[in-house]
Amino acid sequence: MNTPEDYISSLYSTDPMLEKVLAGIREQGMPEISIAPQYGKLLTLLVLAGRTSSALEIGALGGYSGICIARGLTPGGRLVSLELEERYAQVAKGHLTEAGFGEQVEFRLGEALPSLEKLGEEGARFDFFFIDADKTNYPNYLEWAIRLANSGALIVGDNTLMRGRVADPNVSAGSVQAMRRFNEQIASDPRLDSTLLPAYDGLSIARVR
Ligand code: MG
């Protein structure tokens, strides 16, 4: 029997541009951990619904999520993409350019925390955040997202169930503990309204009050 996720995938035709991105990631020997296709669609929908003109993503990888976000931006909207690895940012930039968004995306290289601090100093503010990077820093990324958010901004975090490990009391790895703190804060922070979608690897969505 097919899984519900397989069934949903069967309803939608494949996306040639995003298929190209996945092939590019494979060819480059990069990790094949792009966001699930249906969550990619959800990113586009959320960005569209918020009439978003400024988005920030933490973790570019090959540009899959970047394209999904850019597709929803208002005309002339901007995406800032933070990426640790220069090589990954090059690949992502190539894919974003091929998808027609090369002029709208700005990549910032290196560790995300100093980049976030710099954006704060510059007075940058965003309407949409996508967190999809090293799990240990998720709580820090959440705090920065709230700090850099316009009122009403959305914050989306990927992989927040960590293949179920967050729910397993026997797992005490640092990254899992950090994700539990992230999830607890998303759920209880008085500055946020939120939910956590359980399909795939978990997707957290919060709105900054
Ligand atoms: Mg991810």
Structure tokens at 128: 């949409």
pLDDT at 4: 87
Render pLDDT for 117-165 as a digit per residue (tens, 0 to 9).
Answer: 999 999 999 999 999 999 999 999 999 999 999 999 999 999 999 999 9
pLDDT at 107: 97
Distance 19 CA to ligand 1 centre (A): 17
Distance 12 CA to ligand 1 centre (A): 21
pLDDT at 164: 96
> What is the rounded average pLDDT for all residues in the chain?
96
Cα 82–Cα 87–Cα 92 angle in degrees, nearest 5: 60
Region 10-18: what's the mean pLDDT? 94
Region 77-100: what's the mean pLDDT? 97
Region 168-173: what's the mean pLDDT? 96
pLDDT at 134: 96
pLDDT at 9: 87
Helix or strand (DSSP H, E) at 27: helix 16-27
Instruction: Enumerate residues with CB within 5 Å of ligand 1 (an ion).
Output: 132, 158-159
CA nearest neighbour of 135 among 72, 70, 73, 179:
179
Render pLDDT for 35-44 as a digit per residue (tens, 0 to 9).
Answer: 999 999 999 9
Distance 33 CA to ligand 1 centre (A): 6
Region 67-95: what's the mean pLDDT? 97
Residue 200, Ramachandran bin (φ over 0: left; ψ between -120 and 50: alpha; else beta): left
pLDDT at 123: 98
Render pLDDT for 51-61 as a digit per residue (tens, 0 to 9).
Answer: 999 999 999 99
Distance 141 CA to ligand 1 centre (A): 14
Identify any residues that bridge with 207 across adjacent strands, giving them in sequence order. Answer: 154, 193
